[in-house]
Amino acid sequence: MWPVLLAYYAGVVAMAGVSLSRVGSDNYGSRKIVMFRKHRPLSSCHETVLKKGGRVVRELPLVHALAVRMPERGQSLEELGLHPDVLLIEDDFQVQTVALPAVRMRQREQTIPWGVERIGAPKAWQEAAGEKVKVAVLDTGIDAGHPDLKANIRGTQNIKFPGWQAGDGNGHGTHVAGIIAAVDNNFGVVGVAPRAEIYAVKIFNRRGNGYISDIIAGLDWALQNKMQVVNMSFGTTRPSQALEEAVRRCVQAGMVLVAAAGNEGKENSVMYPARCPGVIAVSAIDRKNNLASFSSRGSEVTVAAPGVDILSTYPGGKYRAMSGTSMACPHVAGVAALVLSRDGHISGRQVVKTITSTATRLPGLTPEEQGSGLVNASFLAAGTRFNDEAREGPAVTSLSVIPSMTS
């Protein structure tokens, strides 16, 4: 099907006399993702791009694709789209984190943030605190030296700027990491899963921007390094078939993917990748259990979580309060870590089912606003074990499979 679509687009473009897209362009040409048929090794696909005047930015083996720059003028892009080994060409556009500005806070004695308390995480800690669960934070990096985080940071990877440290010049990633796994000590704050193993995967720059190809490369790293939970506190209103394919492969491999629903503040506005099948899409509530005014909503929402005035870690050993579905998302990633630390034998699919089936329905909110309800970790305190029905039961509808695009 894809070659037919490419041929159609190429014909339309040729008649119009314009390129497929100018999104993401600069002096070196527009950025594109080119997916190839699997029978062709990516190493040999470089030559195909070069012959059309393009330049390879990076390989994306997870979706058997190349991120490239193509000339703005001429027929090079259209000709590349007609190559028999090319399945798909789409824009490699930029994606942003979804959080509101931070408010500086002074923090000395340890505090359990209201969001961690609201979802019942402290009640679960005697049973499970995230031990031996690997959580990847795809974000702006993490301040790995933060005194409330460093004991739980087990690795870093700089996808955005290879060869450099995966530090956090923005603050967003460090804040997200603290919500998931700030250490339970005598100062600062405590995360939802205070013993989870955190891996900083830097895919965004200090402005909180990164390309679709950066996200795909980050997911690939997470998959290759056997991450069990992936936090994605970012979003875009534009779909990407390459990103959906990457998500499909990670879900199929058993990873738990959690994403911010978005800060669009209107109906039917859940962003990608939260909108992708298989991803836990998280909306945000405030202290009064009302939907946050900024929160996106829609049928894709899986659960809700606290996302207003959330106190967490910040670079330089500091603490800040931030708001956004970016803050709601890591509450759910932390609960996924708690579930896996208590019973690491269940599948990612069943982790999702457990989270949705134990969520607390909030009165006054529609399913489009809260999904199955407010995420709830307190059920873990009861010492219940997953029965055979939970292990083998049917998958929830949000886990429908996307047809493979690389067959």
pLDDT in tens, 62-89: 999 999 999 877 788 899 999 999 999 9
What is the arithmetic mean of pLDDT over 108-135? 95
Looking at the predicted structure, is the pLDDT value of residue 290 above 70?
A: yes
> Same domain for 106 and 65?
no
Looking at the predicted structure, is the pLDDT value of residue 317 above 50?
A: yes
Average pLDDT over all residues of the chain: 87
Task: Report the share of the chain in percent with pLDDT over 90.
Answer: 79
Cα separation, 296 vs 282, whole angstroms? 9
Tell me if residue 298 falls in helix, strand or coil: coil
What is the arithmetic mean of pLDDT over 283-291? 98
> Same domain for 232 and 360?
yes
> Same domain for 64 and 119?
no
The CATH code of the domain that includes 233 is 3.40.50.200
pTM of the complete model: 0.87
Looking at the predicted structure, is the pLDDT value of residue 27 above 90?
A: no
Using the 3D structure, point to which of 65, 92, 119 is the last residue of a domain. 92
Looking at the predicted structure, is the pLDDT value of residue 102 above 80?
A: no
Q: How confident is the model at residue 109 (pLDDT cuts 50, 70, 90)?
A: confident
pLDDT in tens, 341-355: 998 889 999 999 999
Q: How confident is the model at residue 136 (pLDDT cuts 50, 70, 90)?
A: very high
Range of weakest confidence among 3-12, 34-43, 160-169: 3-12
Catalytic residue status for 39: no
H helices then E strands: how many in the chain?
12, 17
Range of weakest confidence among 6-15, 283-292, 379-388: 6-15
Looking at the predicted structure, is the pLDDT value of residue 137 above 90?
A: yes
pLDDT in tens, 28-64: 578 999 999 998 899 999 999 999 999 999 999 999 9
What is the arithmetic mean of pLDDT over 79-106? 87
- The domain of 74 spans 2-92
What is the pLDDT at residue 7? Answer: 36
Q: Name the residue with higher pLDDT: 99 or 220.
A: 220
How many domains does one find in the chain? 2
What is the pLDDT at residue 382? Answer: 63
> Same domain for 88 and 52?
yes
Cα separation, 96 vs 154, whole angstroms? 25
> Same domain for 88 and 125?
no
389 located within any domain: yes
What is the arithmetic mean of pLDDT over 352-373? 97
What is the pLDDT at residue 107? Answer: 60
> Same domain for 186 and 48?
no
Who's near 71: CB < 8 A, 6+ residues apart?
A: 29, 53, 54, 77
> Same domain for 175 and 320?
yes
Catalytic residue status for 139: yes
What is the arithmetic mean of pLDDT over 115-133? 97
What is the pLDDT at residue 396? Answer: 33
Q: Which residue has the tokens 């969001």?
A: 115
Range of weakest confidence among 99-113, 201-215, 271-285: 99-113
Who's near 154: CB < 8 A, 6+ residues apart?
A: 134, 197, 198, 199
First-to-last alpha carbon distance for the chain, in angstroms, is 10
**Which residue in 64, 76, 83, 139 is the catalytic one?**
139
**Which residue in 172, 184, 214, 295 is the catalytic one?**
172
313 located within any domain: yes
Cα separation, 379 vs 174, whole angstroms? 28
DSSP-assigned letter for residue 277: T
> Same domain for 142 and 220?
yes
229 located within any domain: yes
**Which residue in 326, 341, 372, 398 is the catalytic one?**
326
What is the arithmetic mean of pLDDT over 172-195? 97
